[in-house]
Amino acid sequence: MKTEFKLRPYQGKDDERQLELLELPRKYIRQYTNSPPFYYFLRLLGICTDYLYLMTQNDSAKVVGTILLRKRINIFEAGYTWKMHAVYVAPELRGRGLGVKLVFHALEKLRERRVGEVSLKVDESNKAAIQLYKKCGFIEKTRRRGQLIFFKHVT
């Protein structure tokens, strides 16, 4: 049987259990899924909205990868900034191009929204992630407190 990986938006409570099985900390699950109370109000007020996408294998419910796009109000530029977070592939599936698939899926979603630029942070010790982002066309912008900040023009 051929292995297929599909990407889809987070769909609520059923997916929450799958995120727990990935051993994501509870606070991140609440934050990434816009769960109440605090994050719900941020979304409602248009201050911050998270768009979480999940990768599954062979039509199963088991989540094997995640990627998050965060839209946050930028008061200095009177608009929004977009950031990429939570890029994750299950350890047993790494090295198969799934990270690239996640990033390209997120970039396509940003193009659909006519987003001009997206940024992300990565620990400077995470060589595999840095290689992934460079492969996907991200450019290093700056270094700050042990982290690299990358950006990419989307549209």
List, for residues 22-55, the tens digit of each pLDDT value: 777 777 777 778 776 777 788 788 888 889 999 9
pLDDT band of residue 139 (cuts 50, 70, 90) is very high
Cis peptide, bond prior to residue 25, ω within 30 of zero: no
Do 121 and 68 contact (CB within 8 A), yes or no? no
Among 1-5, 67-71, 116-120, 135-139, the range scoring the smallest mean pLDDT is 1-5
Q: Going edge to edge, which strands form the sheet with 139-144?
A: 5-9, 48-57, 63-74, 79-89, 117-123, 147-153, 139-144
What CATH number has the domain bearing residue 122?
3.40.630.30
Predicted structure pTM score: 0.88
The domain in which residue 44 lies consists of: 5-153
Give the residue carrying structure tokens 């010790």: 125
Q: pLDDT averaged over the chain?
A: 89
Comparing C-alpha atoms, which of 141, 52, 59, 58 is closest to residue 105?
52
- For residues 50 and 32, the answer to whether their CB atoms sit within 8 Å is yes
Give the chain's domain count.
1
Residue of 45 and 153 predicted with greater confidence: 153
Instruction: State residue 76's pLDDT score.
Output: 82
